[in-house]
Amino acid sequence: MLQSATLADTPAARRRATGLLGLTLILLTLALALPAGASALVSAGGGWSRQSSGTTAPLYAVAFSDAAHGRTVSHGGAGILATTSGGGSSPTSTPPGDPVLIWEVGNIYTVYNGGASPTVTQGSAYFVTSVRTYHWNNGKGAPAGQITLKASDGTVYGPWQATGIPGQGGVPNASWEARPQQVIPAGAYTVIDSDPSTWSQNSATNGKGMCSAYGIPSSTPTPPPTGGGWSMQSSGTTANLYDVAFSGATHGWAVGHGGAILATTDGGSTWSAQSSGTTASLMAVAFSDATHGWAVGYGGAILTTTNGGATWSAQSSGSSHNLFGVAFPDATHGWAVGSLKDDATSTYSSVILATTDGGATWIAQSSWSGAFLLGVAFPDATHGWAVGDGGAILATTDGGATWSAQSSPTTAHLKYVAFSDATHGWAVGWYGAIVATTNGGATWSAQSSGTTVRLVNLAFPDATHGWAVGWSGVILATTDGGGAPVIARLKVSPPFVPSRVRAGAGIESWGTVRPALTAGRRIQVFWEHYIDGRWQMVKARAPADSYDTGPSSTRYSVRFRFAAGKWRVHATAWDNKNEKVTSAVRRFTAY
């Protein structure tokens, strides 16, 4: 039976991002230039380092009550990670680096059920973090089962129990994901799915089931953690958990999908569900002390408790905006930020709500049409910051009576902001972006995260100790405030693309890598498509989005299909220590 899975739902299309109609083929040539006196900020010494989470699940939030005790929450109730050692003191359970595509069977065309087991070839040893199979099943998905790899010599890896991942339109279990977390050597492997009757396939795969694997190159097996570090705690729920807050080292709360609220009074050894009285997804939670707390979410939902969550009650926000961030520096002063889509114009507006009576009344301080606000921080009742898409940073010094934009060193979407006091602050976002200030936002500088994954949350219990979390199970840590910025003589030239391109036209942009640069410099490229009123990231097929530059002038090209609409392309420079140096952006329209 013909199945109408959209291209964005197929494994290949998640990376190739091709559209159904109005496809435009563009040839991009990306370049680095080193003009006289050009400079950019990077982190030097110390800075951010990777900690082992032991999972590839997206980590949505992190909270630290002090420099040692921390927790994270994640996708699909995969568990709550906890540490009592600042996340350190443990042998790394995964090799350094971010997971990359190892192999894939898939394409962008219409799919059918009944996939047969394919044979895939792995050219070298990988620490395999994720194996996925695709089960569109006429838009119904299929309950997650098991995935197994069988080597040509008969060695069996798995079976691993998979978890279901929703597809477009909320189709449940459209993809299955297993997380082996082990080194698998080079060789040929047969992929075995426990439910081939719903395994997606088509003629382009020769009837073989669609699947993919991600991992980190590894030459030898890595020992498991032997103490300290991060350990898994049972959440007792399968709901996605989007935020976590702790008041002290023992009392904590987590919130998530469908109005889920969990609480602990023993540092997370045990978690129990609390009744929220709502089915709205709760996106953020804040506690000013061990008894007074607030949670915010979709549809303008605001809940409050004055007894540590024994009971929660609704407060009237006076807004239908989806609320993504909340901050309460004390039990009376609070702020929430959110956004709302106008279906008539397909545009978004944002709002900042405030209360001075613990939420008994909320008022809108500002409405913004130029930024999709996602995070808010108030270290005290007067100084506050809000962040959002396009690198937007807003600030107030009068409790929100007036807000003004601050200069941001990035155009990446900023998802979360944290301040340890009125001068020291950090924000994280897409492409591994971390920006920091030591003067209350008078100036912001970029810090090197060493990763390109989406960072979505961070915690700084003081001005030096910090943690950031994101997709692919990434946990970053710093003990020096993220490192001091230094000057690096390297700058990205925006990739040249005409502002308007006709469908089918072949366009070339150009630039050079100056001879002064040494081998090991790297350019990485991301594309964003303006869909449903906001910029959404898509990524070129590997390895076409990454280039190692040489010591002489060089030209680089990428072929990529673009659906009709508004686009922007980012070029980012990395040095030979894998530190992000700077980036540039170019907008264009395909029609």
Q: Does 142 score more than 70 pLDDT?
A: yes
Q: How confident is the model over 272-292, as pLDDT tens digits? A: 899 999 999 999 999 999 999
> Of 165, 196, 217, at which residue does a domain stop?
217
Q: Are residues 281 and 359 in the same domain?
A: yes
Q: Is residue 7, in this structure, part of any structural domain at all?
A: no
Nearest alpha carbon to residue 286 among 376, 219, 196, 213: 376
Residue 112 · residue 1 · CB < 8 Å: yes
**pLDDT the model gives residue 7:** 30
Q: Are residues 239 and 125 in the same domain?
A: no
Q: Are residues 305 and 444 in the same domain?
A: yes
Q: Are residues 249 and 395 in the same domain?
A: yes
93 vs 449: which has the higher pLDDT: 449
The full DSSP string for 91-109 is: --SS-SS--EEEEEE--SS
Distance from CA of residue 398 to its chain's centroid? Answer: 32
Mean pLDDT to the nearest integer, 156-160: 85
Distance from CA of residue 12 to its chain's centroid? Answer: 19
Q: Are residues 444 and 393 in the same domain?
A: yes
CATH code: domain of residue 497 = 2.70.50
**pLDDT the model gives residue 164:** 84
* CA dihedral angle for residue 525, residue 529, residue 534, residue 535, rounded to 10 degrees: 0
Q: How confident is the model over 340-373, as pLDDT tens digits? A: 877 777 777 899 999 999 999 999 997 665 668 9
Preceding omega of 551 cis (within 30 degrees of 0)? no
Where do the DSSP E strands lie in 408-542?
414-419, 425-429, 434-437, 445-447, 455-459, 466-470, 475-478, 484-488, 491-492, 500-501, 522-531, 534-538
Nearest alpha carbon to residue 229 among 462, 482, 54, 465: 54
Q: How confident is the model over 453-470, as pLDDT tens digits? A: 889 999 998 888 889 988
Residue 132 · residue 101 · CB < 8 Å: no
> 467-477: buried (b, 16+ CB within 10 Å) or exposed (e) per residue?
bbbbbbbbbbb
**pLDDT the model gives residue 398:** 95
Q: Given pLDDT bands bounded at 50, 70 and 90, which one contains residue 527?
A: low
Structure tokens given for 164: 């279901």
Q: How confident is the model over 193-216, as pLDDT tens digits? A: 999 999 999 999 999 999 999 988
Q: Does 545 score more than 70 pLDDT?
A: no
Q: Is residue 556, in this structure, part of any structural domain at all?
A: yes
**Number of neighbouring beta carbons within 10 Å of residue 206:** 10
Q: Are residues 34 and 54 in the same domain?
A: no
- Could you give phi then psi for residue 298, rounded to 5 degrees? -70, 150
Residue 303 · residue 313 · CB < 8 Å: yes
Q: Is residue 416, in this structure, part of any structural domain at all?
A: yes
Q: Is residue 12, in this structure, part of any structural domain at all?
A: no
536 vs 128: which has the higher pLDDT: 128
Beta bridge partners of 104: 212
Mean pLDDT to the nearest integer, 566-587: 58
Collapse the DSSP code of 75 into the 3-class scheme (helix H, G, I; strand E, B; otherwise coil) and give the result. helix
Q: Is residue 114, in this structure, part of any structural domain at all?
A: yes
Mean pLDDT to the nearest integer, 551-562: 45
**pLDDT the model gives residue 284:** 95
The full DSSP string for 298-312 is: GGG-EEEESSTTSS-
59 vs 130: which has the higher pLDDT: 130
**pLDDT the model gives residue 483:** 73
Q: Does 256 score more than 80 pLDDT?
A: yes
Q: Given pLDDT bands bounded at 50, 70 and 90, which one contains residue 261?
A: very high
Q: Are residues 151 and 74 in the same domain?
A: no
Mean residue pLDDT of the chain comes to 75
What is the number of domains present in the chain? 3
Computed on alpha carbons and rounded to an integer, the radius of gyration of the chain in Å comes to 24
pLDDT above 70 covers a percentage of the chain that reads 68
CA distance 302 to 297: 7
> 579-591: buried (b, 16+ CB within 10 Å) or exposed (e) per residue?
bbbbbbbbebbbe
> Of 152, 186, 217, at which residue does a domain stop?
217
**pLDDT the model gives residue 369:** 59
551 vs 380: which has the higher pLDDT: 380
Half-sphere exposure in the Cβ direction for 54 (13 Å, CA): 22
Question: What pTM was computed for the model?
Answer: 0.58
The full DSSP string for 230-274 is: -EEE--S--S-EEEEEEETTTEEEEEEGGG-EEEESSTTSS-EEE
CATH code: domain of residue 128 = 2.60.120
* DSSP structural state of residue 183: E
Q: Is residue 223, in this structure, part of any structural domain at all?
A: no
Q: How confident is the model over 294-352, as pLDDT tens digits? A: 999 999 999 999 999 999 999 999 999 999 999 999 999 999 999 987 777 777 789 99
**pLDDT the model gives residue 414:** 93
Which residues form the domain of 162? 100-217
Q: Are residues 239 and 320 in the same domain?
A: yes
CATH code: domain of residue 312 = 2.130.10.10
**pLDDT the model gives residue 86:** 77
**pLDDT the model gives residue 544:** 34
Q: How confident is the model over 115-125, as pLDDT tens digits? A: 999 999 998 89
Q: Given pLDDT bands bounded at 50, 70 and 90, which one contains residue 543?
A: very low
Label the pairing between strands 580-590 and 500-501. parallel
> Of 189, 217, 245, at which residue does a domain stop?
217
CA distance 500 to 398: 44
Q: Are residues 129 and 247 in the same domain?
A: no
Q: Are residues 460 and 577 in the same domain?
A: no
**pLDDT the model gives residue 92:** 39
Q: Are residues 467 and 567 in the same domain?
A: no
Q: Does 534 score more than 50 pLDDT?
A: yes
In the block, residue with structure tokens 């705690």: 233
63 vs 114: which has the higher pLDDT: 114
Residue 58 · residue 514 · CB < 8 Å: no
Q: Is residue 9, in this structure, part of any structural domain at all?
A: no
Q: Are residues 333 and 441 in the same domain?
A: yes
Q: Is residue 10, in this structure, part of any structural domain at all?
A: no
Residue 13 · residue 23 · CB < 8 Å: no
CA distance 522 to 260: 43
* DSSP structural state of residue 40: E
